[in-house]
Structure formats: C-alpha cells, structure tokens
C-alpha cells in the first residue's frame, strides 16, 4: 500500500508540474523584429496611424506614433515586438510595441554596418594592392594569384565607396547569417593621357555569410540594372540617396 501511495504521489507531482510549462514558455520575452513599410492612417472612429508592411501585413502600435511620424504614406522602418498578449476585438492588425521608428531613407540596420566594414576593407585592399587583405575577407579571391590580382586592378586607383544598401529577404526581419546587397563605388584611371573620362563609377552586387572566422564575402559580381535604365540618372539617384542616408557621397570617413 505504501508503494502504491508513493507511485500515486509521483504521478500527481508530474501532473502538477507539466501543465505549468506552457505558461513558463509564454513568459519568454518576444524577440525584437524589424518591419519596413508605410504609415497607414485608419479613419475614424479608430483615428489610428498603423504600420502596413511591404508585403501587406498590418501592425497596430500599442501606443501612438510620435507626431513627426503621423503622416499617411510615410515610408518607415520600425523595430519592436509583436504583442499577442494584447489582442483585442478592435485591433486593426497585430498589436505591436514600437521600440524605434525611423524614416526608411535614413535607417541604418545592423547588417548595414557589417556590410560597410567589409566593403571598406575591400576598397582598402584595392588601393593598397594588398591581395592578402582581400583574400582574408573574400572567399572568391582565395584562388587568385598575385599576377591575376595585379592584372585585375591594373590601371585603376583611388577606389572609393559611394553608396551601398542591403536587402532583406522577408518582412518582419530578424538578422541572420547571410547579408546581400549592392554598392556603388568610384575608381580613377592612372597613367592615362585622356583629358577626361578618367573617373568611373561601377556597381557591384554582393553576398556575405557569417562563419566561425567572422563575416566574409562569398559572392561578388557586376550589378546591372534593368536594360532600359538611364545609367547616368541611376547613379545620380544613388548619390542622392547617399546624401540622405549617410550624409555624404564619399563614405571613406563614415563612422556607421
């Protein structure tokens, strides 16, 4: 009888403990996510400025957006938490606790800083004619011989990063181990007798991946916009974006 009583006590203890596990999991803090979209005014009676993501998801800020962001159609990037614990009948979308909100053209993401760091090292490797530095950050360059590297950059100097942007694959976004994007850089011909045209702009697409050794370029190549694009205007637009987002069209001294 005592043996049976002990077994019963153990069973009751297990049943009393395990139902509490889901509640304990529910107490875990929600992750910070990032959403790119537009401010969306929801007409009375709600009188709400919500967030509509690029892929059409609706988010209902649990507090009013700052007055400077209460503008219908403004493109923004918001960081915050989905608050499923606050779901209500009058919610316009998923309840969302905004931690940070920024105009889209001025937003600097964590992956932007990582991309900038590697892109600057790449520009430096070209300017210093340093194949070792390039190979330390670019897995595709590890097969280059010194002669191939010299031939690749022959006739060019003063490589300067002018603009870059990273692209997010999904919305909401949680930074992971892969970053993709495009950049605009300039270079100048050396030992040229031409009176003009020594200064050139070039576009590059890139993919970076995080390894135990840190971030490395795993894919790089020329970036070509749509065939019907006016390249002069395209470059001018990117330079204007650089002014708005980074405060300069020469990112050599940008601090991130």
* Per-residue pLDDT, 196: 52
* Per-residue pLDDT, 197: 64
* Per-residue pLDDT, 173: 58
* Per-residue pLDDT, 53: 93
**pLDDT tens digit string along 32-87?**
888 999 999 998 777 899 999 998 999 999 999 999 999 999 999 999 999 988 87
* Per-residue pLDDT, 62: 93
* Per-residue pLDDT, 8: 41
Residue 18 has pLDDT above 60, yes or no: no
Pick the CATH number of 110-253 from 3.40.630.30, 3.40.50.2300, 3.10.450.50, 3.30.930.10: 3.10.450.50
Q: Strands of the chain (E only): list them.
A: 33-42, 48-53, 58-61, 75-82, 94-103, 156-167, 178-189, 199-211, 214-222
Dihedral, 165, 171, 174, 175 alpha carbons, nearest 10 = -20
* Per-residue pLDDT, 47: 83
d(CA 31, CA 171): 14
* Per-residue pLDDT, 175: 55
**pLDDT tens digit string along 145-198?**
999 999 999 889 999 999 999 886 555 555 567 899 999 999 998 876 555 568
Q: What percent of the chain has pLDDT over 70?
A: 82
Q: Which CATH class is domain 33-106?
A: mainly beta
d(CA 168, CA 173): 7
**pLDDT tens digit string along 84-115?**
888 776 789 999 999 999 998 888 888 888 99
Residue 3 has pLDDT above 50, yes or no: no
- Both tokens of residue 83? 């608050």
* Per-residue pLDDT, 171: 52
Domain-wise residue ranges, the chain? 33-106, 110-253
* Per-residue pLDDT, 22: 41
* Per-residue pLDDT, 12: 42
């Amino acid at each position: 009888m005592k043996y049976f009583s002990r077994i019963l006590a153990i069973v009751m203890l297990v049943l009393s403990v395990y139902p509490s596990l889901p509640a304990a999991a529910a107490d875990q803090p929600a992750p910070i996510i990032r959403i790119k979209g537009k401010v969306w005014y929801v007409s009375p009676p709600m009188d709400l400025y919500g967030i509509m993501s690029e892929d059409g998801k609706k988010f209902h800020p649990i507090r009013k957006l700052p007055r400077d962001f209460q503008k219908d159609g403004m493109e923004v990037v918001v960081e915050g938490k989905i608050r499923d614990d606050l779901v209500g009948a009058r919610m316009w979308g998923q309840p969302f606790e905004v931690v940070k909100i920024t105009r889209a053209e001025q937003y600097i993401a964590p992956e932007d800083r990582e991309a900038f760091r590697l892109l600057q090292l790449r520009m430096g490797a070209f300017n210093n004619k340093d194949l070792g530095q390039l190979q330390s950050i670019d897995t595709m360059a590890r097969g280059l011989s010194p002669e191939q590297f010299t031939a690749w950059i022959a006739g060019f100097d003063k490589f300067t990063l002018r603009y870059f942007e990273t692209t997010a694959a999904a919305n909401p976004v949680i930074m992971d181990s892969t970053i993709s994007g495009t950049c605009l850089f300039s270079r100048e011909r050396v030992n040229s007798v031409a009176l003009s045209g020594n200064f050139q702009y070039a576009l590059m697409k890139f993919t970076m991946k995080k390894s135990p050794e840190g971030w490395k370029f795993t894919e790089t190549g020329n970036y070509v916009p749509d065939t019907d694009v006016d390249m002069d205007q395209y470059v001018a637009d990117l330079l204007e974006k650089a002014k708005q987002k980074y405060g300069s069209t020469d990112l050599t001294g940008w601090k991130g």
